[in-house]
Amino acid sequence: MAEPALHLPDDALIEPLCEDAGHYLRGGRLLEAGRSPWQAYEVWETPRFGRLFRLDGCFMSSERDEFHYHENLVHVPGLAHPGPRKALIIGGGDGGSAEELLKYGTMRRVVIVELDAQVVALARRYLHGVHHGVLDDPRVELRIGDGLDYVRAQRAAGGERYDLIVLDLTDPVGPAAALHTADFFAACRALLAAGGMLSLHLGTPVFQPARVQAMVRSLRSVFACVRPYFLYIPLYGSLWGLASASDAIDPAALSADEVDRRLHARGIAGLQHLNGAVHCAQFALPNHLRSLLA
């Protein structure tokens, strides 16, 4: 007897990961939806992830899951740096990356350049569990505008330098496409202080291998040390790639004991994902990823 065809539930929130695969959540309750000048947005209350938001049908962040992404995006470079004082976030209007950056006692200034004011408004209304109020911290300067324009203007003016630059972006399509190029990475490199580091997400090597490969290639054309690392992110439905890039610092050179020592010395407590052993393990690439990124 033939197996019955699979039918998705009527209340499924579906996200395609490529042309022939995707994943879904169900049981959500819509809290708000609309369209900004830049993208369609939705905020949902869900049984699995609590409150989450989507942009153009893609899951972005959730209360219960954001730590997988934000801890690794920020602390892999942050712990490798000897003492970050100033950071620039391009994107990141939900405040999750800023919340992690402000766990460093040395941090004096975090600039967030977010294209879409509606993302910030949604975060303020619904996503306190992601940002924990840091959008109103006096160390945070929030600018609504195009990250590409901001970086270019700062570079042309010889503006301030940052110890960390975090590209907390949507996928490289539409307005974000120009922020995933070698030219943009080079412009960001010019804004890094001596020993500065950049981090970003690459996508899924399972469903978007060409994208991940191209991103790493572009980073390597600009920076002396590019370290991809990988973890499973439940909300994104797959193994996910991130990367750290620098001309001076290699986060993979830290031992597990040194990472744990720095976490303790810097007073960074309560992390839900990252510890010394995990930090080191994420750089250990299986053979298929070694081949992809060779």
Residue 108 has pLDDT above 90, yes or no: yes
CATH 3.40.50.150 intervals, the chain: 66-293
Fold classification of 13-62 (topology level): Spermidine Synthase; Chain: A, domain 2 (2.30.140)
- What's residue 3's pLDDT? 58
Angstrom distances, CA of residue 286 to CA of 109, 117, 216, 289: 38, 40, 16, 6
Task: Determine the CATH number of domain 66-293.
Answer: 3.40.50.150
Mean of pLDDT values over 49-74: 97
pLDDT score of 5: 59
Partnered with residue 239 across adjacent β-strands are 232
- How high is the pLDDT of residue 159? 83
User: What are the residue numbers of the active site?
Assistant: 168
CA distance 246 to 222: 9
Q: What is the mean pLDDT of the chain?
A: 95
Q: Which residues neighbour 52 within 8 Å (Cβ) at sequence distance 6 or greater?
A: 43, 44, 46, 59, 60, 61, 62, 63, 65, 235
Percent over 70 (pLDDT), the chain = 98
Q: What is the pLDDT of residue 10?
A: 82
Q: What is the pLDDT of residues 272-291, one digit of tens each?
A: 999 999 999 999 999 999 99
- Banded model confidence at residue 96, pLDDT cuts 50, 70, 90: very high
pLDDT over 60 (residue 1) = no
pLDDT above 70: residue 2: no
Beta bridge partners of 55: 41, 58
Mean pLDDT on 225-244: 97
Query: Which of 9-13, 160-164, 212-216 shows the lowest mean pLDDT across its residues?
Result: 9-13
| Ranges of CATH 2.30.140.10 domains, the chain | 13-62
174 pLDDT tier (thresholds 50, 70, 90)? confident
Percentage with pLDDT > 90 across the chain: 91
**From the CB of residue 263, how many other CB atoms can be counted at a distance below 10 Å?**
19
Q: Once rounded to an integer, what is the mean pLDDT over residues 40-57?
A: 97
